[in-house]
């Protein structure tokens, strides 16, 4: 009963290797068919300087300025606990969108990986500790694009 056909076993192992290779090759494509999210970037979220976040997320690639990304935020917010920031980009092949708020203790607010089914759009509310410059980084193909907007708050959203 325990004697198995060695040919069958070999075939199974071989087909599994092919499947793994197929997945690995797919990961290198500029626009992934599905989002392959890496682990939560602890160091980038824990960094307290904007430059450190950029270095950790994009390993030093200099972002190019773009007008294709708009940051929709109120010119002045009374309550820094919930500032609505809408990000919209018309750049092609958007792979990820990240938001940095330099005035916060930890500038990196969020990073979204998007597949080709999604538009370049992310909107939610954020805590903003002090008037600052919001920086949105969009990864499109192999290039990183940056856009900025001024966020003004009269009462900060961090601390007690």
Nearer to another protein, 10 or 116 (CB): 116
Rounded to the nearest whole angstrom, what is the least distance from the CB of residue 64 to another protein in the complex? Answer: 23
Stretch that binds another protein, among 59-67, 69-77, 82-90, 137-145 (CB under 8 A): 82-90
Nearer to another protein, 81 or 146 (CB): 81
Rounded CA-CA distance 133/144 in Å is 18
Rounded to the nearest whole angstrom, what is the least distance from the CB of residue 13 to another protein in the complex? Answer: 27
Task: Examine residue 19 and tell whether it contacts another protein (CB under 8 A).
Answer: no
Task: Examine residue 23 and tell whether it contacts another protein (CB under 8 A).
Answer: no
As beta bridge partners, residue 69 has 89
Rounded CA-CA distance 133/153 in Å is 11
**Alpha-carbon torsion, ordered 151, 91, 37, 118, to 10 deg:** 100
* Count of residues interacting with another protein (CB under 8 A): 38
**In this chain, which of 93, 106, 143, 148 binds another protein, going by CB under 8 A?**
106
Phi, psi of 76 (to 5 degrees): -145, 135
Rounded CA-CA distance 87/142 in Å is 20
Task: Examine residue 151 and tell whether it contacts another protein (CB under 8 A).
Answer: no
Rounded to the nearest whole angstrom, what is the least distance from the CB of residue 46 to another protein in the complex? Answer: 9
Task: Quickly tell me which residue has 């940051």 as its tokens.
Answer: 71
């Amino acid at each position: 009963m325990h004697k198995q056909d060695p040919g069958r076993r070999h075939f199974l192992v071989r087909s599994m290797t092919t499947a793994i290779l197929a997945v690995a090759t797919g990961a290198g494509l500029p626009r992934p068919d599905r989002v392959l999210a890496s682990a939560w970037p602890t160091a980038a979220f824990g960094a307290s300087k904007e430059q450190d976040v950029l270095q950790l997320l994009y390993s030093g690639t200099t972002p190019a300025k773009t007008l294709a990304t708009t940051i929709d935020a109120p010119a002045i917010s009374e309550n820094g606990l919930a500032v609505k920031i809408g990000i919209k980009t018309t750049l092609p092949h958007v792979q990820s969108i990240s938001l940095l708020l330099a005035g916060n203790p930890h500038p990196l607010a969020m990073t979204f990986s998007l597949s080709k089914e999604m538009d370049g759009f992310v909107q939610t509310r954020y805590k903003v500790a002090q008037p600052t410059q919001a920086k949105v980084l969009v990864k499109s193909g192999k290039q990183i694009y940056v856009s900025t907007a001024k966020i003004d708050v009269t009462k900060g959203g961090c601390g007690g």
